[in-house]
């Protein structure tokens, strides 16, 4: 049985990835913070996979990361999807140090610590998927903390990709443009949801990259609305 860990699987893109990757030979280890939302994801994938294990931890806290690592255990992962993320959207002058630290914690430090812990046990043929963003390559007004964290993950993951090549572990980076999820609920302004791609479309891109033969690396997928970015 294969073991897949997906962070931020309680809603949005992480939930869509869990639903897409559920299969009879897969145990899904699904992480989130919101117990009720995570239970809903688990319910929706349960019949399609061998086992589903909910993992509830706050990745802004170092104890949350270490508790998640402990709960996942020593058995190797065949796939680790680094998806949990937060967006603080405001002029850079208004970002508080707490917001900055939380953004760093969830979007960068937790992925670093989790990859550092899980990669050494991953077998040849395993994959790490990082859900980055077009904001990992382009700065956008009012998204400075978010862009900082995604640009940093871009550099970190590129280097890790090179370090893991010899062990036949693929590092796949996904760069969605605006995607219609709840992350936008707290972003000020009128954001046209109908011009956003769907979480299921991002999940399709993840599944496509994982479906390639083991010697083929789909290193980067950027996807967005043909009509242009918002």
Ligand X SMILES: NC(=O)c1ccc[n+]([C@@H]2O[C@H](COP(=O)([O-])OP(=O)(O)OC[C@H]3O[C@@H](n4cnc5c(N)ncnc54)[C@H](OP(=O)(O)O)[C@@H]3O)[C@@H](O)[C@H]2O)c1
**What does the binding site for ligand X look like in residue numbers (CB under 6 A)?**
8, 10-14, 32-34, 37, 58-60, 83-86, 106, 131, 133, 176, 178-179, 181-183
Spatial separation of the C-alpha atoms in residues 19 and 230, rounded to whole Å: 27
Q: How far is the CB of 123 from ligand X (least distance, A)?
A: 26
Q: How far is the CB of 42 from ligand X (least distance, A)?
A: 12
Q: How far is the CB of 24 from ligand X (least distance, A)?
A: 25
**Encoded tokens for 159:** 């280097």
How many contiguous H segments (helices) and E segments (strands) does the chain have?
7, 7
Spatial separation of the C-alpha atoms in residues 22 and 50, rounded to whole Å: 8
Spatial separation of the C-alpha atoms in residues 170 and 78, rounded to whole Å: 11
Q: How far is the CB of 170 from ligand X (least distance, A)?
A: 19
**Encoded tokens for 179:** 């995607």
Q: How far is the CB of 124 from ligand X (least distance, A)?
A: 27
Q: b/e per residue, 187-215, with b = 16+ CB within 10 A?
A: eeeeeeeeebbebebbbbbbeebbeeeee
Cite the DSSP H helix spans in the chain: 12-21, 35-46, 62-72, 97-104, 110-118, 144-164, 199-210
Q: How far is the CB of 65 from ligand X (least distance, A)?
A: 9
> What's the Rg (C-alpha) of the chain?
17
**Encoded tokens for 9:** 């699987």
Spatial separation of the C-alpha atoms in residues 89 and 8, rounded to whole Å: 19
Give 62 or 123: the residue with its C-beta nearer to ligand X.
62
Give 28 or 131: the residue with its C-beta nearer to ligand X.
131
**Encoded tokens for 130:** 């990082």
Q: How far is the CB of 85 from ligand X (least distance, A)?
A: 2
């Amino acid at each position: 049985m294969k073991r897949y860990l997906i962070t931020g699987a309680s809603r949005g893109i992480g939930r869509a990835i869990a639903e897409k990757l559920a299969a009879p030979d897969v145990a899904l280890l699904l992480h989130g913070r919101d117990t009720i939302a995570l239970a809903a994801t688990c319910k929706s994938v349960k019949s399609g996979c061998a086992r589903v294990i909910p993992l509830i931890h706050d990745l802004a806290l170092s104890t949350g990361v270490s508790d998640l690592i402990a709960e996942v255990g020593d058995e190797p992962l065949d796939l680790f999807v680094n998806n949990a993320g937060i967006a603080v959207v405001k002029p850079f002058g208004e970002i508080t140090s707490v917001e900055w630290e939380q953004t760093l914690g969830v979007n960068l430090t937790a992925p670093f610590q989790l990859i550092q812990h899980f990669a050494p046990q991953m077998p040849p043929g395993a994959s790490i998927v990082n859900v980055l963003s077009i904001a990992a390559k382009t700065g956008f007004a009012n998204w400075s903390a978010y862009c900082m964290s995604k640009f940093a993950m871009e550099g970190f993951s590129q280097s890790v990709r090179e370090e893991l090549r010899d062990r036949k572990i693929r590092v796949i980076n996904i760069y969605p443009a605006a995607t219609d999820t709840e992350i936008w609920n707290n972003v000020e302004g009128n954001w046209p949801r109908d011009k956003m791609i769907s979480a299921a479309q991002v999940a399709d891109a993840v599944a496509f990259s994982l479906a390639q033969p083991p010697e083929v690396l789909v290193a980067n997928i950027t996807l967005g609305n043909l009509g242009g970015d918002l």
